[in-house]
Chain A
Amino acid sequence: MPDTGNSDAFVAFERVQKSYDGETLVVKDLNLSLPKGEFLTMLGPSGSGKTTCLMMLAGFETATHGEIKLDGVSINNIPPHKRGIGMVFQNYALFPHMTVAENLSFPLEVRKMGKSDREAKVKRALDMVEMGAFGGRRPAQLSGGQQQRIALARALVFEPELVLMDEPLGALDKQLREKMQFEITDLAHRLGITVVYVTHDQTEALTMSDRVAVFNDGRIQQLAPPDQLYEQPENSFVAQFIGENNTLEGTVAEIKGDHCVVKLDGGEVIDAKPVNVTKVGERTRVSIRPERVEYNKDRLQEGAHTLKAKVLEFIYMGDIFRTRLEVAGNREFVIKTRNAPDQVRLTPGTEIEIGWLPEDCRALDAN
């Protein structure tokens, strides 16, 4: 659950709501706090309210209700230019009529810094992103990745303690994006700055963040470190949204502590771990990660439930095999196996038995 009222939080959203038209809430009752030095990612589909939250923090949008605090002080009424928050924009927003050095010098100039100080800081910032030789160029003369570094350097040059990033890697190709992901996290940890990062790319969120806040429908669905988020999703939205996921629909037949029995719609009965189901008879959606499914009987644990499955498709993907099965009426059931020397390649049409550990099988809400 989102934590609230943490007094030593560096950034805190307290009961924040936001509406643009006075009829619908884009952000519904947001409570979020993060300590100094944390790398927090806001992840969610478009329209989930994550960017709005970022803009409220930056000061470009005002909260309709609630308070946003920075270092314990409410910043609701402080204009953006006085907040001292660094920001990297989706399209970099480098000023096209200024050179790279002028772009970097700009935040220092408006802070009335002396010329020699400015030059030293600009140089240091450019060196930090390994762009020292590009100070005299115009943004249009740089490649996307170079522009990205400059944008980063500009957001950091005035040494803010908090930096906001709004899908900064969205315009880059895959390889460059992975490289930059590493560089950004590395830089953030080296400088000890607090980062609030917005993205709709789950891989980016998982690889970069200390914690991830998954947004949907104006609410934080789950706030957790990446591993926890992936392995222990708290509701079916998070389970669906993060990583690949197999779902089986059914009804809760029995609950015993951290163990429950689910009767699938096809009639099969399986064991699962109840996450947000509370009573018998409730509709549920059971979630299993593709790589946690096992079909090699030797590797299955003692007492594990098994289900009959029919192989529909086998896809060779190099490092892994991806096999599509029909399980309990679900024809989109996917399993992933590592390409190991002893691994069996399943032929379509074969009937097999699959199984998993009950704790890998999570009974979630049916929404």
Chain B
Amino acid sequence: MTASTDVPEKDANGPMLAADGTPLKKSLSRALRVQKMRALALVAPLLIFVLVTFIAPIGDMLFRSVENQIVSDTMPTTTAALADWDGTGLPPDQVFEDAYYDLFVAAERKEHTRLGSRLNYEQTGASSLFRKSGRGLDDIGEVYQDQFEDLDKNWDEAQPWAEMMGSEDWLAKEAAWEKGSRLPKFALRDGVEELLPRTAAQYAIFAGYTHNEERKSLLKEEPWSAVHTALYQDLSTQDVSGYSGPHAEMLKAAAALVASPDFETVSFKDGFGEIDKDWLEPEIWQTLKLYAPKYTSGYFLNSVDMKLTPEGAEARPENERIYIMLFKRTLFMSLVITCSCILLGYPVAYILSNLPARKANLLMILVLLPFWTSLLVRTSAWKIMLQQQGVINDVLVWIGLVADDGRLTMINNQFGTIVAMTHILLPFMILPMYSVMSTIPHSYVRASKSLGATDWTTFWRVYFPQSVPGIGAGSILVFILAIGYYITPEIVGGTTGTFISNRIAYHISTSLNWGLAAALGSILLAVVLILYWAYDRIVGIDNVKLG
């Protein structure tokens, strides 16, 4: 063997090298890569399943707690115009004009009711106001549409409009279009945008809607009345005398009509006032301005009994507060349930861990028995047990402890919820405590006694400290399960025993205010994480053992 074939183990002060001269680290990671890939491939199905069906929906749901694009998406120009408004009195006429066009399109798309529902969370009555307005907006446009139509039937025909607004090129393609194929992209005629800016813009919106959503030819569909309103606005400000494109005569005649003193007009503000007097109050406009941004803290403020006002966040009036109280109650009751689980579960776990294996297994089945019964059945059983005409009250009356007219109220209140949930969550406390206790060797107890400690000292100084990890694990499990519990408080909680989760469920399924539900859920998640963190700092998560 010569020196040149020697394995270079290490150059002067560089990294360790493998036999072929590559750095050892690189060599090692290459060797381990196959193993890692295989491990990843084994985990992949579950990982993908969890990501797709669990993490992603939760992320989406939590995102809803701040998401507020519906306002600016539905009324883009209005929200832009409202940004310059100082928020006092009524907004300028321009805002009404923008609101007219925005809402008109939204109404055609049937989106105005969704926006109404969204704003209704912030201002009662917004929902019906928007629904009403969707129908009423046509009245404004029809004033102009009718007059133009009376002048020339062609103003209510699809073809002339298309010829006037669209480019030659596009018109040819549109004419050649056949049902089923792709519609040609609408293009404005050169110069029409300068001549009739509003009309061109509104027609383009109409064209986009007809093409993309109705999937119909613009040569067959006459424009909606907002285009006629825009035409009136253009004709009253623009000079069309120099126009020589298609239907120049028709347009010039219309311009003459608009210029004549007996042409009937209606201001946008009056039009809105006609639909509903609320449009002439500053409140709805303030709400629109407040909720114009794409992201809002409104849902979170709602979740802590506050609201967004032009002056900033402020507390809701006393009689509208509910969530803080519910959060406090949820935490308090979860704590009580956890404590009662510890008190009831500890002796059971102790006995189980000290019995011979055969007997312990038998008793363990009794502990696990509740898992084999439906949650609903167990909860309903408590309802039967605890109600005023129920088993426990009957027995108490029968042995004379309670008068017949003084039966105890033990259900549909906090007491009932605590009793039923303690029963349901008890196994989650006993199991981790049992598994920790069964690892404590009996010789510790004997050693302690041989050293002169009494039974109580032995328990408190030697046995108990070693069982704390089990209590910790059980407590975290029970507390976190309790804090998000839904079915049991729903059935036996009545009004005073419900949890925050019941409110979340209400907003998800009944009020459909998903944003608020998401905000409440996010807060609940944050509370759990903070408690978990605090627990880690105080007890240490390493001290938690499940077995």
Contacts and interface: CB of A to CB of B under 8 A. Distances in A.
Interface of A: 58-60, 79-87, 89-91, 93-97, 106-107, 110-111, 154-155, 158, 164
Given A58-B446, A89-B446, A110-B457, A95 B452 contact: no
Interface stretch (B148-156, B459-467, B520-528): B459-467
26 contacts: A58-B446, A58-B450, A60-B449, A80-B446, A80-B449, A80-B450, A81-B449, A81-B458, A82-B452, A83-B450, A85-B450, A86-B450, A87-B446, A87-B447, A89-B446, A90-B443, A91-B441, A91-B443, A93-B444, A94-B447, A95-B444, A95-B447, A97-B466, A106-B448, A110-B454, A158-B452
Contact of B453 (A81, A85, A86, A91): A81
Contacts of A97: 465-466
Of A110, A111, A154, the most chain B CB neighbours within 10 A belong to A110
Chain B interface size, as a band, is 10 to 19
Contacts of B450: 58, 80-81, 83, 85-87, 155, 164
B470 to A, nearest CB: 13
A110 B456 CA distance: 11
Contacts of A58: 446, 450
Contacts of B453: 81, 106-107, 110
Interface in B437-496: 441, 443-444, 446-455, 457-458, 461-462, 465-466
Give the dominant DSSP class at A's interface: loop
Contacts of A106: 448, 451, 453, 461
A154 B446 contact: no
Contacts of B454: 81, 110
Interface string B109-122: 00000000000000
B441 A93 contact: yes
Contacts of B446: 58, 60, 80, 87, 89, 93
B197 to A, nearest CB: 82
B109 to A, nearest CB: 68
Given A81-B452, A93-B443, 20 more contacts: A81-B450, A81-B454, A81-B458, A82-B452, A86-B450, A87-B450, A89-B446, A90-B443, A91-B441, A91-B443, A93-B446, A95-B447, A97-B465, A107-B451, A110-B452, A111-B452, A154-B451, A155-B451, A158-B451, A164-B450
A148 to B, nearest CB: 14
Contacts, number: 65
A54 to B, nearest CB: 11
A155 B452 CA distance: 11
4 pairs of A and B residues whose beta carbons are closest in the complex = A93-B447, A107-B451, A87-B450, A93-B443
Nearest to B454: A81
A89 B454 CA distance: 19
A58 to B, nearest CB: 6
B403 to A, nearest CB: 49
Nearest to B465: A97
Contacts of A155: 450-451
Contacts of A96: 466
A238 B188 CA distance: 116
Contacts of B462: 95
B534 to A, nearest CB: 22
Nearest to B463: A95
Of B451, B457, B461, the most chain A CB neighbours within 10 A belong to B451
Interface in B299-328: none
Contact of A84 (B441, B447, B452, B455): B452
Nearest to A151: B447
A326 B448 CA distance: 55
Contacts of B444: 93, 95
Nearest to A111: B452
